[in-house]
Chains A and B, each alone.
Chain A
């Protein structure tokens, strides 16, 4: 078994609307060996991971997967279940998996949900090793593997505080994105984004944090604001500390002036020795030490968020209860056996460590770790009650006295923190501090939320929700309007045109497309930016107010979508499809499922803008959670008619005018003659693109006036939409420059050129090397039927083909063309363009394919420039086929355009890991 490639689909994808890993697994020699044929395999798996009995699988009940094992299932399916189980046992419960065979026999796509990529990849590797060990009857150390995976989980998953906030954000449908491997997280998109880092927000001030760190300054400010605090002051030596203790009166507390999490804090000290020892211990944490009056009572922590008390806990120091038999060390070890206790902050409780501070505390009580305390005797291991040093938390939120709450709120405000943990010592939290000598001890920035989320005793409090409510007021989900565009052809033009229309609203529009990333008119990247990373970058941008994403198939298949939800999804067309045969996408139907991903994530209030004249596109309507708006040239399109009858919206052309129709009513928006891009409506595909754009703009609430104004000034000149049906005049000939590079695009262009009067027509064309042979031949056929002269060239995109191979295939197609008389073949793009432009004559029509848009545009500009300055062109080598063309053998019957997909050797597995049924957002293929 070999894992060929592992794709992390980090956004909504063809499998689900949540992130999954897609592993391509080659079963190799095990492809024909179901589980029941491998002796001992099932028993080993069931022994090693007995908890898999919970997996219901397609059977739908407990033990379902084990039943499938006994009946015989394939290793890819077993691998899927192993990964799910390992993720779950590592502490991250997941329950979505798929295993389906590709067109390549014995090669499966094993798909499973994940929350943390590093852990998911490790689980996959471990599952593969475990699976093969079980198959080959080799030993496998399951506990060690699980321990390693748990550590990875603990190191990489969000900590409890951050996670609580992220969960609360998700409950409100606020998107989140981790900015680093630690706890820095972006909530929301574009200009609405906020950041958190654990329980710190982007609004938490650095000055306030440093004040909170300075306990002495905090105390002064608290006092000034009438918040009760302990009397005390900084000291510079152990002797001074003792003098201070006498001055204030024992018992006292000794602590670092800028400490954290109770480190170096010693309380209830009465003797000079204790004070001196505590002073030395505190010095480990800080250079400046404070001595304070010790206030007897319980430790309380009050969490203040945005001027309100949202939770309160009573905290108890780490302690054990003697039983008259075990030593303190043994009692601590037993306590640490509690599964809720973990290292650091990841668990509900922390383990108790007997360190130097603990030894001092024990000594004060007359114990050592080896002492056996009498039954019923409480032994303190710590004096401070911090959770991180093994303490416990008891929720007291509901009983905090309003006066105490008011002091806590004052304390947070005095220091200037939006989120603050106020440490209070009081005998009784139900009574005012002043009445009982209670005090505020400390104000903590970035307080831990663990004690409120999972108190040892009492009700958990929704502190994550309170924090999210502060950052995002009710009704605000941190999202900006997003339009996603995909389809076989026209998507770049539609993305650009839509962005142009949206800019008319005065908003800053971020747009990604094949030509780059644009922020309004400014281009900030010039690579192909139709993938998820570019979309993500736009959503990270704090200036962006609206986004338009061209969403290409490659990115969806490789990494999923770059956004989790969109307001508008536009599918221009699927047609016969393009790029078929790549990435296991072999038919137009397969391709439609890929493109449908953007329809699957339309928000409930959003709209899918679908081409009614393309059956594969129209069929996506049921998958849209929002409403559907159809577009088509023809108002009588049956899909549109039916949709309008049901009260739906549509955009179409009547009397050469674009009509916005809602149910029976029709609103004539703009005559085609006023949209320069359509050349008075002559270029049908540009009319369709315009319909899609205006439909989307309508769905996004853009006003009529803005739509009209922006449509009138959107031109397809070289500057605005380079390589998208740009029309130039060179040597008196009409030259059309277009990026189209597949049969559908070519057919659309040819249709558009029909509206042109020219009699002699030349095309310069190629096909990228990753297309199927049949596609290349088909392009040749189309060219041969529509042009008198065809110049075939080979671009940079031969993608693994031998030189000359593409031209040869296209020429094969040309032989069946009815119109073509002359075929030229030129290796190089630039030379081909040079040749084509040099040999075009006045009154003729030339279609120039802009294979690499920037390069082509630069060349054309340069050519025009040279023309003006009369510089002779460089020499061009041409292989002229006029003579031998007519002697080529007649066209033969070619292999069918779409290879018949072999019936699946093993049907796709659809199963849920632990729970029955598929989780929300899972898709069925």
Chain B
């Protein structure tokens, strides 16, 4: 681990003496260090703000524990290597899509925690828990996802149910690409079979030399995947987000043009475009930076330009055919088109699907205009809908959350916290026993172990927040009873943000206050097991 400093650092992963958020508690009387550690985290993209000092200690909020430790380390030993920290943050912090889902859960009061260093989230507790990974849900079919990637089969299934798709086929080599184009007639699209986000997608080609060149680029940039030649469908690329058989949002990708002034080169124009604050490399930015990749070079070449060309004044020059500004068109989607994309998502078998299609006007039926559905993607990105370049942002993260947790559900199970000194264990067992008697599957973490429905599942002292947190992962429990001694609260923070009943007896401490702060608005403070059962059944 990176933190080799002798100062003692303790991670309080839940509500604690300092705050309700997770903090690193450092035995150091230097609020300046705390401020720097928080600033460094913020500079790395972490959503943290809390810091405090007192009692010869400082507390700094963290989002990712290890990132916070590294930032603290950097604050203690300047100068900080911000690039290295950012690099690390890029690996461990939530990506924008998953963060949006995370925030949507929080907004609904649904408890959410990360299960791995990637994007896997657990929402809710025990029997009500669900899992998500970005916009992918635990009901997203594996077969469906694989079908989405297997383009020829996906197209065949879509066509069978009457969803228009572009004609075309996989090609073996550049010659075959030209043959395929000739079979199709007219202009074609050349792209890697596993193309994403418009990379290496060459649109509107007719000349065999261009097609052969596009084949080579697609082959290289597609990392050796197969190359597809398809009929070029007239119109703009659209992305429609389908959530549980409903259209949640739609955006149109616009073409990017510049207008020449007879002075500036295309490189200069592109540099200026990249000054736009909406353009950035990170996935959160609504627009990607413009670069001179193979596709752009090909687009320019067909207009007779190179990057250093100076287009004449007033001349409109096409820079990108797709993947530019996302324009929200949710309200314009024709009902017939909505039915079609919903059918496409259902046919492939994906509950939250990003459907890509090309059509001139999404407000008129696709079939009428010779438009086509290009692909159905699982785990769709949602930033383009949350932050479209133009138009109304669509709260699709909330729509997805409503699909996973219908209105009124918050994924919680009743939690009883027992804070009763030396009587805690006996009381906790009694509560668990009585709750079990009502027919619930009850999890209990106590001094003598973890129990599910009275059966020991982990031996040893489990009156800890770690044991409680583990128990909340259990997919069967319908209610939980935790011993929450002072030590657990002071050294770990609580494992939950809400409890329904707190059994508190004996002397009160600062830790007791932390526990009571988590009591739900309808929650009760009681002194005996019998009262606790009564409080829960009301």
Binding site for B on A (CB under 8 A): 179-180, 184, 195-197, 200-211, 214, 217, 221, 223-226, 410, 413-414, 416, 445, 517, 519, 522, 524-525, 536-537, 540-543
Contact = CB atoms under 8 A, between A and B. Distances in A.
Given A206-B378, A207-B138, A211-B120, A541 B162 contact: yes
B475 A202 contact: no
A204 B142 contact: yes
A537 B161 contact: yes
B138 A179 contact: no
Interface of B: 115-116, 120, 131-133, 136-147, 150, 153, 157, 160-162, 336, 343, 346-347, 349, 378, 450, 452, 455, 457-458, 470-471, 473-476
29 contacts: A179-B153, A180-B150, A180-B153, A184-B147, A184-B153, A200-B142, A201-B143, A203-B139, A203-B141, A205-B139, A205-B142, A206-B142, A206-B144, A207-B131, A207-B132, A207-B138, A208-B131, A209-B142, A217-B120, A221-B115, A226-B450, A226-B474, A410-B475, A445-B142, A519-B162, A541-B347, A542-B346, A543-B343, A543-B346
A158 B476 CA distance: 36
A413 B349 contact: no
B505 to A, nearest CB: 29
A865 B450 CA distance: 83
Contacts of B141: 195, 202-206
Contact of A541 (B132, B161, B452): B161
Contacts of A540: 157, 160-161, 347
A662 B143 CA distance: 48
Going nearest first, the 3 A-B pairs with the smallest beta carbon separation are: A226-B457, A524-B162, A224-B470
B473 A224 contact: yes
A202 B143 contact: yes
A510 to B, nearest CB: 9
Given A225-B473, A542-B349, 20 more contacts: A184-B147, A184-B153, A203-B139, A204-B143, A206-B141, A206-B145, A207-B136, A208-B142, A217-B116, A225-B452, A225-B457, A410-B476, A413-B475, A519-B162, A536-B160, A537-B160, A540-B161, A541-B161, A541-B343, A542-B346
A226 B147 CA distance: 36
B349 A202 contact: yes
Given A184-B143, A207-B120, A221 B476 contact: no
Contacts of B160: 536-537, 540-541
Contacts of B145: 206
B450 A195 contact: no
Contacts of B147: 184
A525 B116 CA distance: 48
A445 B160 CA distance: 30
Contacts of B471: 224
Nearest to B469: A224
A205 B343 contact: no
Contacts of B150: 180
A524 B132 CA distance: 36
Given A204-B142, A226-B450, A195 B349 contact: yes
B143 A226 contact: no
A410 B452 CA distance: 12
Contacts of B458: 223, 226
Contacts of B115: 211, 217, 221
Which of A226, A416, A541 is the most central at the interface, judged by chain B CB atoms within 10 Å of its CB?
A: A226
Nearest to B378: A206
A78 B155 CA distance: 43
A406 to B, nearest CB: 9
Contacts of B473: 221, 224-225, 414
A414 B142 CA distance: 17
Contacts of B144: 202, 206
B475 A197 contact: no
Contact of B162 (A225, A226, A416, A525): A525
Given A224-B473, A225-B474, A205 B138 contact: yes
A858 to B, nearest CB: 16
The CB with the most chain A CB atoms within 10 A, among B139, B475, B476, is that of: B475
A688 to B, nearest CB: 32
A666 to B, nearest CB: 42
B249 to A, nearest CB: 22
A73 B434 CA distance: 85
A104 to B, nearest CB: 36
A207 B133 contact: yes
Contacts of B346: 542-543
B140 A214 contact: no
Nearest to B336: A522
A226 B347 CA distance: 39
Nearest to A544: B161
A184 B137 CA distance: 22
Nearest to B365: A522
A165 to B, nearest CB: 13
Contacts of A202: 141, 143-144, 349
Nearest to A217: B116
A501 to B, nearest CB: 22
B457 A416 contact: no
A83 B473 CA distance: 59
A86 to B, nearest CB: 30
Contact of B137 (A204, A207, A541): A207
